[in-house]
Structure 1
Amino acid sequence: MSAEAKLIELKLELPPSPKPVGVYKPIVIAGNMAYLSGHGPLKADKKLITGRLGLDMDVEAGYEAARITGLGMLATLQTNLGSLDKVKRLVKLLGLVRCTDRFDQQPAVINGCSELFRDVFGEENGVAARSALGTNALPGGIAVEIEAIFEVEV
């Protein structure tokens, strides 16, 4: 099943593609690779999900923030490629989690994005190499920031 058909089957509605808030491009396509800049958890009401895992957010809230971030990343891909069906596969995912020093469940948080991509692109093409790291600060106090590399059809 195509990624676009999967969106419909899963009843997923993509938000508008996030706009850059600095001097960078949200996506750069070089050859058959699409490099997505770090995306944050931007909700439909245009508010960012802020907080620190292990302090004022639990794993479930972080998971949801990562999932919302993934939806924004899909929107960026769809806007710039014209269709998610042009994505061949996810190659690499890097997730940063704003957290306390004692919080050690970064992978469980970033699963919110990883599981979304798996559900949309399939087990073979939607699961990639991945890193999930904790950090003490992210721009604007956002809970997560995620970047990715995709192989695409050009």
Structure 2
Amino acid sequence: MAHHIEHELAALGLVLPPAVTPPPGVVLPFAFVRVVDRRALISGHGPLNADGTIAAPLGKLGREVTVEQGYAAARLTALAMLGSLRRALGDLDRITAWTRVFGMVASAPGFDRQPAVINGFSHLILELFGPDIGAHSRSAVGMAELPFNIPVEIEGEVEFDA
């Protein structure tokens, strides 16, 4: 039987990607999810395609990437993060609270709509988990550069049942 969150994902036609396939020659020597007691600390994730490759478009918001494309990239980033959480926890229904989200947006000079971009992440988490579990504190900030020219990187923290 499908679990609740996975059923919701399927109903929306969404797929959790495998772990990121880094560019050739790139080594990622860290855990994507670090479990400490009943907390899962989630490393920065970017937007992924269903096969784990880095999703386009690449570039900066306010230059190569529109707010709408950035919103979609933040939504893909949520799916990448959920994939990592499922691999670490075994079941997304174990999550009892989304506690903190830190959204970074590669921003061209003068771009100031970072919150609208990171809303793509927040809206999906709230849709899937509801307001009690999905509500989270959040920052949305602009960055001069992000790894691999991705437009969005998001990290976070959840609590879960042991």
Query: The TM-score by the shorter chain falls in which range?
Result: over 0.9
Q: 1:26 corresponds to which residue?
A: 32
The alpha-carbon deviation at position 19 of structure 1 amounts to 5.8
Q: Is the 8 A contact 2:46 2:54 kept in 1?
A: no
Contact preservation (8 Å) 1:14, 1:74: yes
Taking every aligned residue pair, what percent have the same amino acid on both sides?
42
The one-letter code sitting in structure 1 at the alignment partner of 2:54 is K
Once residues 142 and 117 of structure 1 are traced to their aligned partners in structure 2, the CA distance between those partners, rounded to angstroms, is: 21
Match of 2:71 in 1: 63
Paired AA for residue 3 in structure 1: I
CA–CA separation in structure 2 for the residues paired with 1:48 and 1:6:
23
Distance in structure 1 (CA, Å) of the matches to 2:46 and 2:68: 17
CA contact (8 A) 1:92 1:129 kept: yes
- 1:87-118 deviations in whole A, cap 9, x for unaligned? 11100000000011200100000011111111
* Residue matched to 1:120: 128
Instruction: Give the aligned length.
Output: 154
User: Structure 1 residue 37 and structure 2 residue 43: aligned?
Assistant: yes
Q: TM-score, normalised by structure 1?
A: 0.93
CA distance in 1, matches of 2:54, 2:28: 17
C-alpha displacement of 1:31: 0.6
Tell me the TM-score normalized by structure 2. Answer: 0.89
Is contact 1:19–1:26 with CA below 8 Å preserved after alignment?
A: no
Q: Is the 8 A contact 2:59 2:151 kept in 1?
A: yes
Gaps of 5+ in 2: none
> In angstroms, what is the RMSD of aligned CA positions?
1.6
C-alpha distance in structure 1 between counterparts of 2:135 and 2:113, whole Å: 19
